[in-house]
Amino acid sequence: MAQPAAEASRLGLADIGDLLAPFPGRAAATTRIAAASTLTCLIAAIYGTPEAATSAYVIFFINRADRTSSIVMSVGMLVLISLIVGLVIVLAGLTLDSALLRVTCMAVASAALLFLTSASKLRPVGAIVAMIIGFGLDELGLVPGGEVATRALLYAWLMVAIPIGANVVVNLLMGPSPRRLAGARLAHCVRVAAQALRHPEAGGPAIAQVLRDGVQPVAGWLKLAKFEGSANAADVSALRQAMTSTMAILMAADVACRQPGASLPAPLADSLADMLDAMARMLDAGGYPVEITVPLPDTAALSPLQQSVVTEIVQAIAHYAEPEAAAAVGPAALADAAHEATDKKRGGFLDADAFSNRSHIHYALKTTGAAMFCYLLYQQLDWPGIHTCFITVYLVSLGTAAESVEKLVLRLAGCLVGAALGTAAIVFVVPALDSVGGLLALVFAGTWLSAWVAMGSPRIAYAGFQIAFAFYLCVIQGAAPGFDLTIARDRVIGILIGNLVVYLVFTRIWPVSIAGRIEGALASLVSQWQELVAARHSDQRRQHAATALGLQGAIAQDLTLARYEPGMVGPGPAWIDYHRRRLGVLDAVAGPLFLLAERFPGDPDVAARLHAVKTAAPLAAASPAPLETHADARTRDALLAIVDKQLADSPSGPATPPAPHAHT
């Protein structure tokens, strides 16, 4: 299970070492980013386009784990940028001779795009688009005529088009297919479950990690695999079932690791683990296991809790990649179809609360105000070298005060590390370079180190982005190796100014606490478990479990971030502790509740326990569901006893939780 929330809100040296450790796919993703960024620098050097450092940095935002998502994201962004640059060209005739009108257009376009960044599916690239428009209009103020202005806008378009083209080429050559990624991720999860069964005392952390985010991306990869044709409909259906079966195996293995008396005897655990390892090897090879014959173990000597674990694992293995037969159309099936249709209708371009949630407008105005302040600052100081403060605002602006404060630490640390690496490279490495090839090798090495950090945990990933940004601004000074330390100094000063301005704006003007997001996510988490308990089909229950555990990990991370918020903005320690305990209760009962729902779907006793978790109220009397055998009754009683113990041991807390200091 994902742990409720880290007690320590600051990273120590041991934590950083763990976060920098390799994991499956990290090196490959890092190499693709390094290759695409280096290719971008090569193209920019050949054609002499300006702002090559920013172009190389764009790769970090448009590269994805699989080749299809990366290419689709790149092409979509190119179309969007082309349309926007065309719009700017139209505006150029109106703003070329008026500085006031030009700045007004920059502010209005920025606010509109940042609103869409916060309230629509433009979120991944909206801030970059706003930055490009600002850069293009800024360049207009430096040129004497319309023809040169058009050339400046073309360079602004190329600043994004070049990394997009490089990213497409690299992903076509090196990017893994979503089908392969799905199989590799399932193999990793199955292998972790096997290790947990063999060594339950040490398998908890690894199980917690894969439960939180192990199978979450697989469904999306399978959709992409069908879209690009790397998997046919039968394979997609089988792998979807494999995904849900893997979730069930992980949940059962987690119970075996965490609950006293649930770990399996060594011979039985080794036998199941060997079978799981064989399945993992098949998934790694690009296939998937079917028609698995599982020798039924003798469970008579096992405790009811051990029997429930074995039963769940054996059933999941036996039908690992065999989709359930289509159920007869009934009220439940019709309800599921209606729910899916409703979800599709809601999946529009704009968020449901786009025009009702004021935080979207506030985000757009705060970021635009910070950017325009930085723009006017370096214009009035006549210090164009620190223009990176303007770019930095768009790249680092975030939604809540907690994220802003936490990321400020990562930004500053990353900026200083990147600046130190870049300055050291200028002093000790660049003088020895005599060609563009040497510069490209230096860029590749610096990018690889930065991307390794950026591809890691969210707790340090942002530092990797900042390391790359500062390193590029120091090292990439033109089409050839550059030695000017003044350029590096000014650009780093600009980054620091931009970070400071964003921090002050986002913690002083319309500060948004992360408390509201935590409360909403907790409500959604309980709803997911309620839907899981009510679901009649195992694949639905397992999908709800995957969604719930991913959400649980996100809430744990947000509770850690909440400690970063200033006292005048964020919740107090009592509020954080109360919600951490609530999440802890859901974490503790998740495994037993899942096994109960799998074995006894629709049991009112299970629903009553979950209702008690939601309301923190005493358990209401419920009529026990009729069971077929005495063994079933013993298994249910054992699982319910675990849930009851966790509910009894958890602090009850007040009926109304402590109020945060600030509301969103």
Q: Is the pLDDT of residue 223 over 90?
A: yes
CA dist list (Å): 418 to 44, 61, 90: 21, 18, 38
Structure tokens at 71: 């290419």
Q: Is the pLDDT of residue 171 over 90?
A: yes
The per-residue pLDDT for range 67-108, each reduced to its tens digit, is 999 999 899 888 888 887 787 777 766 776 777 888 888 899
Predicted local confidence at residue 479, as pLDDT:
62
Q: Using alpha carbons only, how large is the chain's radius of gyration in Å?
A: 27
What is the rounded CA–CA span in Å between residue 129 and residue 131?
5
Strand partners, 350: 120
What letter represents residue 497's amino acid?
A: I
The β-bridge partners of 120 are 350
What distance in Å separates the CA atoms of residue 545 and residue 547, rounded to the nearest whole number?
5
Question: Residue 274: what pLDDT?
Answer: 93
pLDDT at 258: 87
Which has the higher per-residue pLDDT, 661 or 392? Answer: 392
Longest CA pairwise span in the chain (Å): 89
CATH, domain range 518-649: 1.20.120
| Per-residue model confidence as pLDDT tens digits over 320-344 | 998 866 444 444 443 444 444 444 4
Identify the band that residue 538 occupies on the pLDDT scale cut at 50, 70 and 90: confident
Share the mean pLDDT of the chain. 82
Name the E strands within 435-555: none
- Residue 169 pLDDT class (50, 70, 90 cuts): very high
The amino acid that residue 339 corresponds to is H
pLDDT classification of 427: cutoffs 50, 70, 90: confident
Contact 264, 197 (CB under 8 A): yes
Measured distance CA(5)–CA(576) in Å, rounded? 10
Task: Tell me how far the alpha carbon of residue 467 is from its chain's centroid.
Answer: 20
Residue boundaries of the structural domains of the chain: 13-64+67-175+363-508, 181-318, 518-649
Taking a C-beta distance cutoff of 8 angstroms, is the pair 579, 658 a contact?
A: no
Confidence tier at 221 by pLDDT (50, 70, 90):
very high
- The tens digit of pLDDT for each residue in 398-409 reads 777 787 777 778
